[in-house]
Structure 1
């Protein structure tokens, strides 16, 4: 890491806090998504992490500003997560991210519109990926891997926040797909049944309203479940749907050994 002065570290942190608050005030979900995508390893987030390891009192910067402090419960643990992630303390990074994600979800519940949906998708993705990283770290230290299970519990809470009659319900399938990835990774595929039942029987959901990428992933995983249950006709129909509608330019989504599209990340 190149030398960073205290003044430069202060500038980077303040710039991030301004961009974070601006993205919420202007309801710019794509900008907010970039600011919370810890595992993206973007140069801007890595440079911020380096600044945090020089300027150790970012919490004070948040608290002393009315503009920043109203989002303090989200941003303070998020900064702590980034700091730990940069120095490969992955279990600590996960713990901080989950705390930030819970605070974000509470704010999301209070917002009337679904403007922050892309940011919510990023949180659903990040909490799963960070949990997987943390569990690998814990296992390497001879400790019990437990973060992915915790991520699954959080994602169920997130699903509950989306399972309403308003415009936010459009995000339910995306979160369901993240849950599938957790349950398949943990070997607890039986837990998929409750969310499948909610998606397929609840009158508030219209499957055709969901984004294509989420429908492809959903059909892929439910198709695999049908194979496990030896419902081969249903499996063929669902996997065929996933193959037909999978983005042909996303070659990484094709399992060449089987011709079946893998899940979107």
Structure 2
């Protein structure tokens, strides 16, 4: 491929700006454009001002500086130039109220901003030692673009800037999840859900959106909503994209298990999340000793994925299954609390006394996993004669592996 001169590069940007070709400009002003690294300069001002008209000239100058710094591994400087670029683009979008053809440029600018902020954070470069500060500032820039898009009330999908909202929301989700500010996701979700054309967004954007909303619901303990969103993301993610399907499955599996579903071993093996299979068996069998051992063995994986506390909640189902075994062995609807405590102690729960055993039973009754009541006077759990341990859903999933 013949290398482009800086003059030719600038003239091309100026031409496509006049043509209002947002896709071509986005390609040329991406940090991934394969020729720009050879053209980047720390001080490109004079040539840019001669060959590129206002207002795009400021964006082009920032971009050339950004790529220059990134090429020389000065990622904080690169991020700061990209931040200036994004703010300049926001002003252009505000000024051009009736236009949205430059949205592809906005998508690329905001993606590059987030990636450069992540790289600067990763390298530990910043004005302070506060983790997440650079990403937080990047989110403020992204919100500037989001507000401009959200304020465009034109009804036509073809004309309104609101069609750019979901792309920005997904970028913001990626930042907020990384810096653990999930509460900031709520107004963004409300904004997208209120759009009359929310189903018109590209499938890839909808999958990303539902993936993050599903994870948010999971952390809010709304497991039915989490199941709905994550299942949509998994089933609509292209089967060839195993990396993303695996990522979705890491969160979908514990959610499904909390709702009583048993995952398919074939699917767990296919997407390399076999860490869950032995755990599934321990929960089904009510084997608390094995459950605790597996939580320790896979602790690093669960913590890294941010699901340790969610997976640990599966222990309540293991309690239910163990107590059901005791009920079947004794063959009585009046189960001594001591019998349940003995079962717990025999499976490694050595510190559990009678009071704590009753608390576990009370939680199971409250959650509907046991039908009955505790007779404190007789220290017995009196379970219903009809369906005392309501069955947990046992269908394998997902169907679209």
**Residues 114 and 175 in structure 2, CA contact (< 8 A), matched pair in contact too:** yes
Equivalence for 2:100? 114
Equivalence for 1:13? 6
Deviation at 1:179, TM superposition (A): 0.5
| Structure label with greater radius of gyration | 2
Deviation at 1:69, TM superposition (A): 4.7
Equivalence for 1:48? 39
Equivalence for 2:232? 241
Q: Does residue 191 of the first structure (1) align with residue 184 of the second (2)?
A: yes
2:232 and 2:66 map into 1 onto residues whose CA distance is 39
Deviations along 1:118-145, one digit per CA (max 9) or x if unpaired, are 2211112111101001112235998445
Q: Which moved more, 1:75-84 or 1:107-116?
A: 107-116
1:34 paired residue among 27, 40, 48:
27
Q: Does residue 75 of the first structure (1) align with residue 52 of the second (2)?
A: no
Q: Aligned with 1:60: secondary structure?
A: helix
Q: How does 1:1-265 map to 2 (within 5 A)?
A: 12-38=5-31, 40=32, 42-49=33-40, 52=41, 57-65=43-51, 67-111=52-96, 112-139=98-125, 143-145=129-131, 146-163=133-150, 164-166=152-154, 167-200=160-193, 202=194, 204-255=195-246, 258=249
Deviation at 1:251, TM superposition (A): 3.4
Q: Aligned with 2:88: secondary structure?
A: helix
**Residues 159 and 172 in structure 1, CA contact (< 8 A), matched pair in contact too:** yes
Deviation at 1:244, TM superposition (A): 2.0
Relative distance call for 1:152 and 1:44 in structure 2 (3 A) is same
Q: Which has the higher contact order (CA 8 A, sep 6+)?
A: 1
> Which consecutive unaligned segments of at least 5 residues does structure 1 have?
1-8
Number of aligned positions between the proteins: 242
Deviation at 1:47, TM superposition (A): 1.5
Deviations along 1:196-238, one digit per CA (max 9) or x if unpaired, are 12222x4x54321222111111111000111111111111111
Relative distance call for 1:79 and 1:253 in structure 2 (3 A) is same
Relative distance call for 1:15 and 1:153 in structure 2 (3 A) is same
Deviation at 1:57, TM superposition (A): 4.7
1:88 and 1:252 map into 2 onto residues whose CA distance is 28
**Residues 17 and 68 in structure 1, CA contact (< 8 A), matched pair in contact too:** no
2:16 and 2:34 map into 1 onto residues whose CA distance is 19
Aligned alpha-carbon RMSD (Å): 2.4
Deviation at 1:247, TM superposition (A): 2.9
2:148 and 2:208 map into 1 onto residues whose CA distance is 21
Relative distance call for 1:245 and 1:24 in structure 2 (3 A) is same
Relative distance call for 1:184 and 1:257 in structure 2 (3 A) is closer
Deviation at 1:72, TM superposition (A): 2.2
1:43 and 1:210 map into 2 onto residues whose CA distance is 29
Q: Which moved more, 1:24-33 or 1:140-149?
A: 140-149
Relative distance call for 1:20 and 1:221 in structure 2 (3 A) is same
Q: Which moved more, 1:151-160 or 1:25-34?
A: 25-34
